[in-house]
Amino acid sequence: MNLSLYSCSFSKLTAYEPQVVLPYLKSKMHSIYNKEREARIQASLWGDENDSYDFEHDSVVSTLTSDAHASVRTRIIKRFQKIVGFCYPLLHAGTEGMQFAYQMLYLLDATGYYSLALHALGIQVCRATGQELMDASSRISKIRSRERERLRGPQWLKTLQGALLSSTYTVLDYAQTGLIAAVFFFKMMEWWYQSAEERMSAPTVYPPPPPPPPPKVAKEGVPLPKDRTICPLCLQKRVNPSVITVSGFVFCYACIFKYTTQYKRCPATLMPATVDQIRRLFHDV
């Protein structure tokens, strides 16, 4: 089997290594900067300027104070962290500004490179036309045909190698679709089991308790008429019906306001009440 495809893939992987290594190094520097900043803030709060180092090395330093090698290593780590803490904000601002400048120039069609890393690698990002897609598909088909023609050995070995190549090409062709389907299936199963757990852990819904019994009418109080639309005070059809909240009975607004102002109680139950406990009703039954 010809190894041209694998050598080409290795060269592309080598070209894309900065795209992976540089963000990784930046994330590590960001972590070191955050730890150095936290240590510096804590040192400023506690008034100790000699404690601005990584707290992960506290146990190492405390147990190996007599070891000169560990002491030198600790000083080097502290010095490196101080350098990163000083340089990282400038580096971060510079890279972010450079990234923004490249993106603006790319949007204005002033450059074909989307970022500084792609510019260093000589890779331009552009939308492929239909003809380019057809050419790429034809080129891939020709390469695969040449790979099948270069198979050597007995017929059974050639058949086995051809089946392996076909399987590899199928996986490469449908890898993106399979990944999307796998993510969708994973999210669907996550939602399904999460919903089941929520249903199982949901609290039991009990029926609402019955309302409390209505207050009893006092013997010395105003009797209630059988017709609920009649005011117990004036014995006329209620006008501007209003309820007194201490008992829940409904009267005319003028009647209950005058009575409550004078006697400071509910006419029916004789419970203490004020005019502030009168509420107008806009729907009377």
Residue 5 pLDDT exceeds 50 = no
Check residue 47 and give left, alpha or beta (phi > 0: left; psi -120 to 50: alpha): left
With beta carbons less than 8 A apart as the criterion, state whether 223 and 232 touch. Answer: yes
Residue 275 pLDDT exceeds 80 = yes
Tokens standing for residue 248: 């829940």
CA 102 → CA 89, 108, 117, 179, distances in Å?
20, 10, 10, 31
β-pair partners for 252: 241
Is this structure's pTM higher than 0.85?
no
- Read off the pLDDT band of 18 (50, 70, 90): low
- Read off the pLDDT band of 88 (50, 70, 90): confident
- The helix-helix angle for 4-46 and 68-107 (nearest 10°) equals 110
Pairing of β 241-244 and β 278-280: antiparallel
Cα gap 30→44, rounded to integer Å: 21
Residue 256 pLDDT exceeds 90 = yes
Q: What is the mean pLDDT of the chain?
A: 78
Q: Where are the domains of the chain?
A: 4-121, 130-196, 216-285
Q: Per mean pLDDT, which range of 108-117, 162-171, 202-211 is the poorest? A: 202-211
With beta carbons less than 8 A apart as the criterion, state whether 255 and 233 touch. Answer: yes
Which pairs with CB-CB distance under 8 Å and at least 24 residues apart come from 141-149?
143/5, 144/169, 146/2, 147/1, 147/2, 147/5
CA 79 → CA 41, 44, 83, distances in Å?
17, 18, 6
Q: Which fold has domain 216-285?
A: Herpes Virus-1 (3.30.40)
- How big is the CA angle at 204 (ends 201 and 208), to the nearest 5 degrees? 150
